[in-house]
A = this chain, B = another copy of it.
Amino acid sequence: MMVEEKSSMTWSCPRPREGAAYITIAHGGGGLMTQRLIQQIFLQAYGNDALAAMNDAAVLSLEGSDRVAVSTDSFVVRPLEFPGGDIGVLAVHGTVNDLAMMGATPKYLTAGFILEEGLELRVLERIVKSMADAAREAGVQIVAGDTKVVERGHGDGVFINTTGIGVYHDMAAPGAASVEEGDCILLSGDIGRHGLAVMAVRENLTDSLGFASDTCNLAPVVADMRAAGVELHWMRDLTRGGLSSAVNELAAAVGCGMRLREIAIPVHPEVQGLCELLGLDPLYVANEGRFILLTPAAHVDTALTVLEKHRADEYAAPCLIGQIEMQQPSRVILESSIGVDRILDMMSGEQLPRIC
């Protein structure tokens, strides 16, 4: 887990540099400047037939299916670049993962950019390129886009909205209605890396950082899980609000209780150390490449075997963290490492603003 060279960047939007090219208000006017920006930066990176047609909308085939999954997400992460990724990578993974969690095959993305006047064009180019790379790796096409420009001081470098369209080829969408008594709760890996990687940049702690954001595309591991015949009763990726939000949303959606064993939840030792330094609880810290899934006890071994194959490194062990108790009140009980039970609440405020 080496930290990438991006890690030494400051977390504010890079300030003007002598001789550099910048976004101006005219880039958002819908005239020649807008066209050039689209041609030279966006089409260059995302090029495909649907986009190149430059129509008002892209016309897409769903390969014989008439059911789609649709998800939308806006990304406002600060800094724009951090160890393990940037806002462009997040904008792809975040939306692709939402589709994968619903059991759909991600196919298409739209990309809406809100640029701040004064953004350096080479920063935008880097972000657009890493977004294009992430989309290519995920096998999704960026088929429609939009660019707006706001005056300096009314935005923050780049905000990106991605909306994803996934295809359904069967009816097996995981959901609250599928959850059963005794379903096992599996966690795909360790928690807290993304949030702490972003915090490390903000706090100037990246020099010897031994981990990076966990951001990744979860569609392949879900596809392998289905191929292996694992019954998927419910899935959710852990993003804002961390593991605690996901399990509390599960409890509320199903109307069930659950017990989680804190000691089973893996945390990278450096993440743990930074959490202690910064006064954060890893259970509430954002992730961008981890998810929980519910499956009957009989499928746990197969599921863990598949998760192991996709494991990132020694600290990212998938694990069984608890079980569903249908008859209990809808709350999450955490058996702490010192043997005491406590209720794991949803975060009520904001621990780490603008983490995705």
Stretch at the interface among A70-78, A123-131, A326-334: A70-78
**What residues of chain B lie closer than 8 Å to A282, measured between beta carbons?**
none
Q: Which B-chain residue is minimally distant from A163 (CB atoms)?
A: B163
A32 adjacent to B347 (CB under 8 Å) = yes
**What residues of chain B lie closer than 8 Å to A348, measured between beta carbons?**
26, 31-33
A98 adjacent to B239 (CB under 8 Å) = no
Q: Which of B55, B163, B245 contacts A30 (CB 8 A)?
A: B245
B76 adjacent to A30 (CB under 8 Å) = no
Q: Cβ of A143 < 8 Å from any Cβ of B?
A: yes
B346 adjacent to A31 (CB under 8 Å) = yes
Q: Cβ of A3 < 8 Å from any Cβ of B?
A: no
Question: Complex Cα distance A175/B214, Å?
Answer: 43
**What residues of chain B lie closer than 8 Å to A181, measured between beta carbons?**
none
Name, among A30, A112, A253, A286, the residue most crowded by chain B CB atoms within 10 Å (CB to CB).
A30
Q: Cβ of A264 < 8 Å from any Cβ of B?
A: no
B175 adjacent to A53 (CB under 8 Å) = yes
Q: How many Å from the CB of A169 to the closest CB on chain B?
A: 11
A31 adjacent to B349 (CB under 8 Å) = yes
Q: Which B-chain residue is minimally distant from A171 (CB atoms)?
A: B59
Q: Which of B65, B97, B161, B249 contacts A72 (CB 8 A)?
A: B161
Produce 1/0 per residue, A155-173, CB < 8 A to B.
1100101011110100001
Produce 1/0 per residue, A1-43, CB < 8 A to B.
0000000000000000000000011101111111100000000
A59 adjacent to B63 (CB under 8 Å) = no
**What residues of chain B lie closer than 8 Å to A44, measured between beta carbons?**
none
- Within A40-66, the residues touching B (CB, 8 Å) are 53-66
Q: How many Å from the CB of A223 to the closest CB on chain B?
A: 16
**What residues of chain B lie closer than 8 Å to A58, measured between beta carbons?**
69-71
Q: Which of B54, B60, B76 contacts A114 (CB 8 A)?
A: B76
Known contacts A32-B346, A101-B57; is-contact A74 B354 (Cβ 8 Å)? no
Stretch at the interface among A103-111, A224-232, A267-275, A295-303: A103-111
Q: Which B-chain residue is minimally distant from A352 (CB atoms)?
A: B29
Q: How many Å from the CB of A162 to the closest CB on chain B?
A: 9
Q: Cβ of A93 < 8 Å from any Cβ of B?
A: no
Q: Cβ of A241 < 8 Å from any Cβ of B?
A: yes
A56 adjacent to B72 (CB under 8 Å) = no
Question: Complex Cα distance A351/B34, Å?
Answer: 13
Q: How many Å from the CB of A20 to the closest CB on chain B?
A: 20
Complex A-B, nearest 9 residue pairs according to Cβ-Cβ distance, in ascending order? A30-B240, A31-B347, A30-B241, A29-B350, A72-B110, A163-B163, A57-B71, A161-B161, A56-B98
Residue contacts A-B, CB under 8 angstroms, 23 given: A28-B240, A29-B240, A30-B239, A30-B240, A32-B347, A56-B98, A56-B236, A57-B70, A57-B101, A57-B166, A58-B70, A58-B71, A59-B68, A59-B173, A60-B70, A70-B108, A70-B110, A70-B144, A70-B165, A71-B110, A76-B148, A148-B354, A151-B353
